[in-house]
Chains A and B, each alone.
Chain A
C-alpha cells in the first residue's frame, strides 16, 4: 500500500515539475489595447483588455514597467495621453457604467477616479485646457436620458451639476468660443398605430455653468456628423415621410436636407432639401470658407456659410456627370473627387478637380484601372494609385500603377507600374511614399514594401518578405520598421532598403510599434511586452499577465468553503462515524430491475448519455455502470451498452470488464455488448431504439447527459414494457424522464448514486458534506435576499466575477 502511495505521489510530483517547466514560457492571452505613447517622456501606456484588466506604463529608455493601474474587467479601454496625465476609460458592471481614471504619466498615481453610470458602450469625450467632458446615455426605465459630466482635469472635481436631457448623445461639437454643442437624437413612444418617431435636438452648453444657452429642435435623424466652422454648425438630416397619392396609395419618401445653424444664437441659417434621389456622400467638407457636399448621384453643391437669403443657400452647384467613389478631398482651394461612369458595361474611372471658390471644373484626369482610395494630396502633387486587373478567375493578375499629378493642370508628372495588389493604404512621410504590395512570384505570394520619392516618382528601393505586413509602418530618421504575420519585427534602412535586422517575436504584434532612444517597444499576442535595440537584440521581455485573477477570488473562496465542508465529513466518515442517508427510490429499484431482466431472460440496456468522457455526468454514469455491471455479472444477465462516443465506449468496456472480474465472472464478459454506434444524435437514437425494439431489454437505464433525444428513448423503452430508470442533471430533460420512466434520479441524485451504491464510508461522508454545502448556500441566499431588500447592494459585489 505504501509503495502504491509513493508511486502515486512520485508520478504527480514528476508531472507537476514537467508542467511548470513547460509553463515557464507560457502561452498568453491576446487582445491588448493599442499603445499610447509619449515621445517626450518615452513612456508607452498599454492596456491588457478583457480578462484581468490592468493598464501599464512602460518606460522604453529605462526598459521597465514603471507603473500599473488596475481597471475593471472590460472589453475595451480607451487610453489617451494628455500632457503629463493619462486618461483611461473602461466599461464596468457588464457595460452599464464607465470607469474613468486620470493618472500621472510618470508615476501612475491615480489623480482621480469616477464611475459614470451609462446604458451604452459609447462615450463622447471632449477636452479643453482644464476640463474633461464625458457625454453618456443613461437608461431610466426604458427611457433614454443623456447626461454630460464635467471634471476638472487635475483634481477630478465636478465643475457643475451634470447636464441632463432626454435622448441619445450623437456627438459633442466644440465651438470657437470654447463652449460645445450637444447633439441629441430623440425617439418618441409609439402610440397605437402611430410608430415611434425620431427627431434631433442641438443644445449649446455653456462650459462654465453647464447650463444650456439655446436648444434647437430639428426634424429627422442625422445623416452626417455635425461640424462647426466660423460659428456655424453644418449637418445633413434625413426624414422619412409618407405621402398619399391621388390614387390613395401611400408612398414612403426619404427627405434629406442640409442644415446650417448659428452656434452663437441657435438660429437656423439655411435648410436645403436635396432632390428626390440625391443622397449626400459622407459628411459636408469645409472648403475655402464654405461647406461642400457631394452626392452619390454626382452633384457637387457648395453652400454659403452665412447666406443672406435663407431660401437661397447654394453658392454653386456642379454636375460631375459621374458617381463619386469617395468624399471630396480639399487642399489649397481645390477639391479632388474620384469618380466612376458607366460606358456600356465598362466602368470608366476619373479624378475631377474643382475650384472651390467658383465650382469651375479645373481638370479631369481619366484613370487606368480602379483607383485605390483615398487619394493622397501632397504639397504640389496629387498621388493616385490604381489597380489594373488582367484576366479572370485563377489566371487573374494585378498591376499597381502610381501616378503623380500636377494639381494645377491635372497633367501627369510621373508614373510607375509594379506587379501586385495594394495590401495596406499608402503611407506618406515627408517626401517619402511607402507602398505595400502583395505580388505573385512563381507559385508563391510575396509581400513587397517600396519607397518612392514623390518629387521625382522614382522608386528608391523595394524590400521583399514572404509574410504579410500586418502592423502600421513605423518610420524614423534611419529606418522603417514593421511587424509581419509570422511573428517577426523587421527593420529596413530608409536610405537603401536593406534589412537592418529581423527580430523573431514568436507571435504577431498586438500593438503598433513605439520608439524611443533607438529602442522599439511593442506587445505581442503571446502577452509579452518586448523592447529591442537598434541591432534587433532584446533589451527586455516583460510578461505583463498577473499570477492570480483577483476577479475570481469569490469563486475560489466558494470552492474552498464547499471543499472544506466535504473534506470535514469525509474525514469523520473515515474515522468511522455513522451517517444516515435517505433512501433514493431510483437506486433501490436497480436490484429489482436487474432481477426482473434475469427472470425474463432479457438483457439490461444501459445508456451513458450523449456527452463525451470529459463531462462529469458521463463520469457519474460510468460509476453507476460499474455497480450495475457487477449485479448483471452476479445474476449472469447480458448487459448491453451502446455508446455515442468512442472514448466512452473504451472506458465503459474497462469499467464493465473490471466489474465482471470483481464479481468473479470474467468468463461471461462480452466486449461486443459494449459497442459504439455513432456520434450523431439522431443516428444514435435510431440505433438504440432499434436495439430496444428487436432485443426487448427488460430494464433500461438512462444515466448521463441528454438532450432532445431523452423522450424519444424513454417513450420507445416504455412502449417495449421495460422497467426504466433515468438520471440526469439537465433540468430541461428531467420532465420528460419523469413522465416516461418509472424512476428518475434528479440532478444531484445522479452524482450521489455511486456513493449510495458503494456504501463506502468516505463516499457517504461526501454526501453529508454536500448537504452541509447546500445549507451554507441556503443561508447565503437568505442573507442576500434580506440585505438586498434593505437596499444594501454591496452584497452583490461580493459575488461578482466580472
Chain B
C-alpha cells in the first residue's frame, strides 16, 4: 500500500495534466494543481527550516569542526525570520536592512565568482591536446574575437576582411549552423527522454523516485 497509493496519485495526476492540456473545458485544473503544489511546498518549507535547525544545532552541540559557521547561520536565520515576523518586510524595516545590506551584496559576491571560474575552466578546456580540442580552441578564439570590439577592428585591418564580415562568420555560420544544430540535437534527445521518463512514471515502470531503486 505504501507504493500503490502514491503510484495511483502520480498516475492519476499525470493523466489529468495530459487530459486538461487537450480539453479546454478543464484547462484551469492545471493551475489548480499548481496551486496545490505551492500549498504543499509551503508546508514542506517548515520541514526544511526544521532540518536546517536540527543539523546546525547538532553540529554546534557536538562542537564539530567549523561549528562557528553554524552559529552564524542560526543567528542569521533567527534574526531574519524574527525581524520579518515582528516588523514586516516593507522598506525601512530590519528585514529590509538585512536584505539590502547583507543578502544582496553576498549574493552578488557569489555570482561574481562566475567570471573567474569561466576563465579557469576555459583555460583547461582549450588546451590543444588533440585535434578535437584544437578545433574547439580555434572556434572559441574566432567567436571570442568577434564578440569584442577590438576583434572586429583587428579583422577589418586584414586585406580580405572587407568581403567577409566577421559577424557573418560567427552569427550565421558558427553559431547559426554548428552551435544551433548541436543544441537542437541535445534538446530533441532530452525531449524524447522526458516523454520516455514520463511514460514510465505513468505506467508505473519507473518507481525509483519513490525510493528503493525499483
Which A residues contact B (CB, under 8 angstroms)? 4, 7-8, 11-12, 15-16, 19, 23, 26-29, 51-52, 527, 543, 545-549, 552, 555-556, 559, 562-563, 566-567, 570, 612, 614, 616, 619-620, 622-623, 626-627, 630, 643, 645-647, 649-651, 654-659, 661-662, 672, 675-677, 680-683, 685-686, 690, 694, 708, 711-712, 714-715, 729, 731, 734-736, 738-740, 746-748, 750-752, 754, 757-758, 760, 762-763, 766-767, 769-770, 773-774, 777
26 contacts between A and B (CB under 8 A): A8-B8, A16-B12, A16-B15, A23-B29, A28-B28, A51-B24, A546-B24, A547-B25, A548-B22, A548-B24, A549-B24, A614-B37, A620-B193, A622-B209, A627-B208, A646-B47, A646-B51, A672-B55, A675-B55, A676-B48, A682-B111, A711-B117, A712-B114, A754-B197, A754-B208, A766-B200
Determine which of B11, B113, B196 lies in contact with A566 in the assembled complex, contact meaning CB atoms within 8 Å: B196
Given contacts A27-B32, A546-B25, 8 further A-B pairs with CB under 8 A are A27-B26, A27-B28, A527-B25, A645-B48, A685-B110, A729-B190, A758-B213, A758-B214
Known: A26-B26, A680-B107, A773-B192. A15 touches B12 (CB 8 A): yes
A752 surroundings in chain B (CB, below 8 A): 193
The complex places the Cα of A677 from the Cα of B86 at a distance, in Å, of 24
Asked whether A708 lies within 8 Å of B47 as measured between CB atoms, the reply is no
Asked whether A675 lies within 8 Å of B51 as measured between CB atoms, the reply is yes
A675 surroundings in chain B (CB, below 8 A): 51-52, 55
Known: A712-B117, A751-B190. A623 touches B209 (CB 8 A): yes
Asked whether B212 lies within 8 Å of A626 as measured between CB atoms, the reply is yes
In the assembled complex, how far is the CB of residue B137 from the closest CB belonging to chain A, in whole angstroms? 12
A681 surroundings in chain B (CB, below 8 A): 107
Main SS at interface, chain B: helix
Interface string of B172-210 (1 = CB under 8 A from A): 000000000001001111101111111111011110111
Asked whether A612 lies within 8 Å of B206 as measured between CB atoms, the reply is no
Asked whether B49 lies within 8 Å of A676 as measured between CB atoms, the reply is yes
Q: Does B58 touch A at the CB level, under 8 Å? A: yes
The complex places the Cα of A645 from the Cα of B52 at a distance, in Å, of 12
A649 surroundings in chain B (CB, below 8 A): 44, 47-48, 51
Q: Does B125 touch A at the CB level, under 8 Å? A: yes
Known: A646-B48, A662-B213, A676-B48. A29 touches B27 (CB 8 A): yes
Counting from the closest, the 5 A-B pairs by CB-CB distance are A658-B211, A646-B48, A751-B193, A27-B28, A676-B48
B190 surroundings in chain A (CB, below 8 A): 729, 731, 747-748, 750-751
B193 surroundings in chain A (CB, below 8 A): 620, 729, 747-748, 750-752, 770
Asked whether A738 lies within 8 Å of B125 as measured between CB atoms, the reply is yes
The complex places the Cα of A552 from the Cα of B199 at a distance, in Å, of 19
Determine which of A527, A552, A616, A734 lies in contact with B186 in the assembled complex, contact meaning CB atoms within 8 Å: A734
Asked whether B195 lies within 8 Å of A559 as measured between CB atoms, the reply is yes
Main SS at interface, chain A: helix
Asked whether B189 lies within 8 Å of A774 as measured between CB atoms, the reply is yes
A630 surroundings in chain B (CB, below 8 A): 213
The complex places the Cα of A713 from the Cα of B19 at a distance, in Å, of 39
In the assembled complex, how far is the CB of residue B206 from the closest CB belonging to chain A, in whole angstroms? 6
Asked whether B211 lies within 8 Å of A659 as measured between CB atoms, the reply is yes
Determine which of B69, B113, B114 lies in contact with A690 in the assembled complex, contact meaning CB atoms within 8 Å: B69
A767 surroundings in chain B (CB, below 8 A): 196
Asked whether A676 lies within 8 Å of B51 as measured between CB atoms, the reply is yes
Candidate in B188, B189, B195, B213 with the most chain A CB atoms within 10 angstroms: B213
The complex places the Cα of A763 from the Cα of B208 at a distance, in Å, of 11
B37 surroundings in chain A (CB, below 8 A): 612, 614
Q: Does B1 touch A at the CB level, under 8 Å? A: yes
Asked whether B5 lies within 8 Å of A11 as measured between CB atoms, the reply is yes
Determine which of B29, B41, B69, B192 lies in contact with A777 in the assembled complex, contact meaning CB atoms within 8 Å: B192
The complex places the Cα of A763 from the Cα of B205 at a distance, in Å, of 7
Determine which of A626, A680, A690, A736 lies in contact with B121 in the assembled complex, contact meaning CB atoms within 8 Å: A736
Q: Does B141 touch A at the CB level, under 8 Å? A: no
The complex places the Cα of A26 from the Cα of B51 at a distance, in Å, of 40
In the assembled complex, how far is the CB of residue A636 from the closest CB belonging to chain B, in whole angstroms? 18
Determine which of A8, A555, A685 lies in contact with B7 in the assembled complex, contact meaning CB atoms within 8 Å: A8
Asked whether A622 lies within 8 Å of B12 as measured between CB atoms, the reply is no
Candidate in A676, A683, A740 with the most chain B CB atoms within 10 angstroms: A676
Closest to A14 in B: B8
In the assembled complex, how far is the CB of residue A711 from the closest CB belonging to chain B, in whole angstroms? 5
The number of chain B residues with a CB under 8 A from chain A is: 80
Determine which of A15, A26, A616, A746 lies in contact with B8 in the assembled complex, contact meaning CB atoms within 8 Å: A15
A735 surroundings in chain B (CB, below 8 A): 125
The complex places the Cα of A545 from the Cα of B27 at a distance, in Å, of 10
A777 surroundings in chain B (CB, below 8 A): 188, 192
Determine which of B187, B194, B209, B214 lies in contact with A751 in the assembled complex, contact meaning CB atoms within 8 Å: B194
B124 surroundings in chain A (CB, below 8 A): 739-740
In the assembled complex, how far is the CB of residue B174 from the closest CB belonging to chain A, in whole angstroms? 14
In the assembled complex, how far is the CB of residue B180 from the closest CB belonging to chain A, in whole angstroms? 10
Closest to A4 in B: B4
In the assembled complex, how far is the CB of residue B15 from the closest CB belonging to chain A, in whole angstroms? 8
Candidate in B44, B65, B203 with the most chain A CB atoms within 10 angstroms: B44
Interface string of B17-48 (1 = CB under 8 A from A): 00001111111110110000100110011111
Candidate in A4, A655, A739 with the most chain B CB atoms within 10 angstroms: A739
In the assembled complex, how far is the CB of residue A802 from the closest CB belonging to chain B, in whole angstroms? 15
The complex places the Cα of A760 from the Cα of B199 at a distance, in Å, of 16
Known: A546-B25, A612-B41, A649-B48. A563 touches B213 (CB 8 A): no
Asked whether A11 lies within 8 Å of B212 as measured between CB atoms, the reply is no
The complex places the Cα of A662 from the Cα of B214 at a distance, in Å, of 10
The complex places the Cα of A295 from the Cα of B29 at a distance, in Å, of 54
A739 surroundings in chain B (CB, below 8 A): 121-122, 124-125
Closest to B47 in A: A646
Asked whether B195 lies within 8 Å of A626 as measured between CB atoms, the reply is no
In the assembled complex, how far is the CB of residue A615 from the closest CB belonging to chain B, in whole angstroms? 10
Q: Does B54 touch A at the CB level, under 8 Å? A: yes
Asked whether A646 lies within 8 Å of B4 as measured between CB atoms, the reply is no
B214 surroundings in chain A (CB, below 8 A): 758, 760
Closest to B197 in A: A751
Candidate in A559, A734, A747 with the most chain B CB atoms within 10 angstroms: A747
Closest to A620 in B: B197
Q: Does B9 touch A at the CB level, under 8 Å? A: yes
Closest to A661 in B: B212
A747 surroundings in chain B (CB, below 8 A): 186-187, 189-190, 193
In the assembled complex, how far is the CB of residue A782 from the closest CB belonging to chain B, in whole angstroms? 13
Asked whether A647 lies within 8 Å of B192 as measured between CB atoms, the reply is no
The complex places the Cα of A545 from the Cα of B26 at a distance, in Å, of 9
Q: Does B118 touch A at the CB level, under 8 Å? A: yes
Q: Does B106 touch A at the CB level, under 8 Å? A: yes
Asked whether B211 lies within 8 Å of A655 as measured between CB atoms, the reply is yes
The complex places the Cα of A662 from the Cα of B65 at a distance, in Å, of 32
Candidate in B29, B69, B211 with the most chain A CB atoms within 10 angstroms: B211
A711 surroundings in chain B (CB, below 8 A): 114, 117-118, 121
In the assembled complex, how far is the CB of residue A624 from the closest CB belonging to chain B, in whole angstroms? 8
In the assembled complex, how far is the CB of residue B134 from the closest CB belonging to chain A, in whole angstroms? 16
Known: A647-B41, A675-B52. A708 touches B205 (CB 8 A): no
8 Å CB contacts to A: which residues of B88-136? 103, 106-107, 110-111, 113-114, 117-118, 120-122, 124-125
